[in-house]
Chain A
Amino acid sequence: MAVLEISDLVVAWDPRSGEQLPVRRDDVLATLRAAGDARAARIVERMPVAGEFLDQRAVNRTLVRVHTELQRLNEELHMAQRFAELLRPMLAATGVRRPRVVDIGCGLGFVLRSLAASGLLGADVELVGVDGNRALVDEAARLAAAEGLPCRFVCGDAFALDEDATVYLSNGVLHHFPAASLAEFFQAQDRPGTHGFLHYDIAATPLAPFGAWLFHRARMREPLGRHDGVASARRAHGDDVLLSAARQAAGLDAFLFEPIRFANPFCAAMRPVLGLRPELTDGFRRALGRRARGLVA
Chain B
Amino acid sequence: MTVAVSLVLLALVDAAFAGFRAATGRNARIRKRRYYARAAARGLALGAIGMAVTATVILVPLGDRFDDLVVAGVLMGQVLLPFAAVVVLSMVAYWLLPMRESTFVILVGLGPFTLVRPLVVVAAVVWAGLGTDDWLVRLDAVVAAAAVLAVEPLTHHRWYRAPIGSVG
Contact = CB atoms under 8 A, between A and B. Distances in A.
A219 B29 contact: no
A219 B28 contact: no
B132 interface: no
B163 A64 contact: yes
Given A85-B99, A266-B103, 18 more contacts: A62-B168, A64-B166, A68-B25, A68-B28, A76-B103, A77-B103, A77-B106, A78-B102, A78-B103, A110-B28, A139-B167, A143-B28, A147-B31, A219-B114, A220-B25, A266-B108, A267-B101, A269-B107
A215 B107 contact: yes
A261 to B, nearest CB: 16
Interface in A85-125: 85, 108, 110, 113-114, 117
Interface string B71-105: 00000000000000000000000000001111110
A71 B112 CA distance: 19
B99 A82 contact: yes
Contact of A146 (B25, B102, B104, B165): B165
Interface in A147-170: 147, 149
Interface of A: 60-62, 64-65, 67-69, 71-72, 76-78, 81-82, 85, 108, 110, 113-114, 117, 135, 139, 142-143, 146-147, 149, 211, 214-215, 217-221, 264, 266-267, 269
B26 interface: yes
Contacts, number: 88
Nearest to A113: B30
A139 B106 contact: no
B103 A267 contact: yes
B25 A64 contact: no
B26 A68 contact: yes
B50 to A, nearest CB: 22
A120 to B, nearest CB: 12
B66 to A, nearest CB: 38
Contacts of B163: 64-65, 68
A116 B120 CA distance: 41
The 7 closest A-B pairs by CB, nearest first: A69-B25, A117-B30, A218-B114, A64-B168, A61-B168, A65-B168, A68-B28
A135 B167 CA distance: 9
A62 B163 CA distance: 10
21 contacts: A64-B163, A64-B166, A65-B168, A68-B26, A68-B27, A68-B168, A71-B28, A78-B103, A139-B28, A139-B166, A139-B167, A146-B165, A214-B107, A214-B111, A214-B112, A218-B111, A218-B114, A219-B114, A221-B25, A267-B107, A269-B103
A61 B162 CA distance: 10
B29 A217 contact: no
Contacts of B25: 68-69, 71-72, 219-221
A290 to B, nearest CB: 13
A60 B168 CA distance: 8
B34 to A, nearest CB: 12
Contact of B115 (A77, A147, A149, A218): A218
